[in-house]
């Protein structure tokens, strides 16, 4: 599985956009990019995923570079409740089963 | 729907004791997984199942057994607890195919003395 590199921590002001980067330079053509987050002591929560096109849902936007070697998760208007650890994961779909390998993620702190 | 439920929420064991962590989901998901999370670390996959009667090992399977007799339940057994198994355990479920959204339970916090 491809490895990902994320900054260990980031800060963001409440109401501003939070842009979380992720490098995945060894990603393969059949691997997707997933983003999850984990709010303190809770189970991880799915945010968004993509293959090569940019994606948007009610929580966030995912921007994937054309060469697919990096991506950015954007929280358009961060709130205090978005303070969490954000995980960028790349994983293939193997036989219909998604096996997600979590790294250490980025600790995002949203400040008032 | 209750989603993914886990019991117990907290557990303290002595070295050498055995126990079963329970996980259940009511979403009719084919796929279920067990992860452990150590302090300051990401999640590591222990075992997973792609359907009733089918299980496979993840990254860190040693010391743990699983079985999947029904779609709903996926218990994790610690055969002989060791202090290195002190961790938070999360169970997750999801549909396969084009669905990538895994649903996680609230976790079981296990301490082995």
Mean pLDDT by 10 residues, chain A (112 residues): 86 97 92 92 91 93 96 97 95 65 90 96
pLDDT at A93: 67
For A12, the token pair is 């963001």
Shortest distance, CA A45 to any CA of chain B (angstroms): 7
Partner B contacted by A46 (CB < 8 A): yes
Chain A residues touching B90 at Cβ < 8 A? 43-44
CB contact B61 to A (< 8 Å): no
Spell out which residues of chain A touch residue B42, defining contact as CB-CB under 8 Å: 87, 102-105
pLDDT more than 70, % of chain B:
97
For residues A86 and A20, what is the distance between their CA atoms, to the nearest angstrom? 8
CB B92, CB A98: distance < 8 Å: no
| More confident of the two residues B57 and B95 | B57
Q: Identify the pLDDT of residue B96.
A: 72
Select from A92, A91, A97, A93 the least CA-distant residue to B54.
Answer: A97
């Amino acid at each position: 599985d491809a490895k990902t590199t994320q900054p260990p921590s980031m800060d963001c002001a409440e109401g501003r956009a939070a842009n979380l980067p992720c490098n995945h330079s060894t990603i393969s053509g059949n691997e997707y990019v997933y983003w999850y987050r984990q709010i303190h002591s809770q189970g991880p929560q799915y945010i968004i995923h993509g293959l090569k096109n940019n994606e948007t849902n009610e929580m966030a936007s995912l921007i994937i570079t054309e060469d697919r070697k990096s991506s950015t998760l954007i929280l358009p208007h961060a709130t205090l409740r978005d303070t969490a650890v954000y995980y960028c994961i790349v994983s293939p779909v193997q036989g219909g089963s998604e096996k997600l390998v979590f790294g250490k993620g980025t600790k995002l702190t949203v400040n008032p | 729907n209750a989603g993914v439920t886990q019991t117990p929420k907290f557990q303290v064991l002595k070295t050498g004791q055995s126990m079963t962590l329970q996980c259940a989901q009511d979403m009719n998901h084919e796929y279920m997984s067990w992860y452990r999370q150590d302090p300051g670390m990401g999640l590591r996959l222990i075992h997973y199942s792609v359907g009733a009667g089918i299980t496979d090992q993840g990254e860190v399977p040693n010391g743990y057994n699983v079985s999947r007799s029904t779609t709903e339940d996926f218990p994790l057994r610690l055969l002989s607890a060791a202090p290195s198994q002190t961790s938070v355990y999360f169970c997750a479920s999801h549909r396969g195919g084009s669905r990538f959204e895994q649903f996680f339970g609230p976790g079981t916090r296990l301490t082995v003395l």
